[in-house]
């Protein structure tokens, strides 16, 4: 049975960061975290103003990044993947005009999820590979791992078990190297299941 995209990566919550600020979604959290700039120590006063966005204003013909982002996230959370896909494509067109490669990487990863949920595995694979290339170029090691996990699921859904095994093996090794042994063990379980399916 094909896994759901929500089962295999971070919740790629673009809302957890301000586009253009260089932050990325937190890996595998059970509840959304506040943006880094909004989190304070117990003895600190909360910020008086929210962090500025790169594009705080909008015009009738040019919505702001935050507006498009909010629509995409709302649709994805409601499992309206077709609408989320449209909004993320619009968001990608906006961020591609800037110079923040990590913004492009995160939006591509979100697009990969909606494409996967819509059954467009070719497009999901393309978005993931493009995001992975950026993650490795930056480099962003944690995001690379998350993308490899997703890549494994996409490859498995496409029936490309050797490629899925390669992606998951890399992800498990990276998690183990960072001491995330519980998550690595889950990936190893997926690898074992994949090997078992291939043996039948």
Tens digit of pLDDT for each residue in 136-173? 999 999 999 999 999 999 999 999 999 999 999 999 99
| CA dist., res. 168 & res. 151, Å (int) | 8
Distance CA 165, CA 187 (A): 10
pLDDT of res. 199: 59
Whole-number Å distance between alpha carbons of 144 and 141: 5
Domains of the chain, CATH where assigned: 9-27+64-199 (1.25.40.10)
Give pTM, 2 decimals.
0.73
CB burial class (10 A; 0-12, 13-18, 19+) of residue 37? middle
């Amino acid at each position: 049975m094909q896994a759901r995209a929500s089962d295999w990566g971070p919740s790629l919550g673009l809302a957890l960061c301000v586009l253009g600020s260089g932050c990325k979604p937190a890996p595998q959290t059970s509840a959304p975290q506040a943006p880094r700039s909004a989190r304070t120590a117990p003895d600190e006063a909360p910020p008086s103003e929210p962090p500025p966005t790169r594009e705080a204003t909008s015009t009738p013909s040019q919505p702001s990044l935050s507006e498009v982002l909010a629509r995409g996230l709302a649709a994805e959370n409601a499992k309206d993947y077709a609408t989320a896909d449209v909004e993320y494509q619009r968001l990608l067109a906006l961020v591609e005009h800037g110079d923040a490669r990590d913004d492009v990487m995160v939006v591509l990863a979100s697009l990969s999820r909606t494409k996967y949920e819509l059954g467009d595995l070719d497009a999901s694979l393309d978005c993931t590979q493009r995001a992975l290339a950026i993650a490795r170029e930056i480099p962003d090691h944690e995001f690379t791992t998350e993308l490899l996990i997703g890549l494994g699921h996409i490859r498995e859904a496409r029936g490309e078990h050797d490629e899925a095994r390669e992606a998951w093996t890399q992800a498990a090794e990276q998690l183990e190297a960072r001491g995330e042994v519980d998550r690595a063990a889950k990936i190893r379980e997926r690898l074992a299941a994949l090997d078992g399916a291939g043996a039948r």
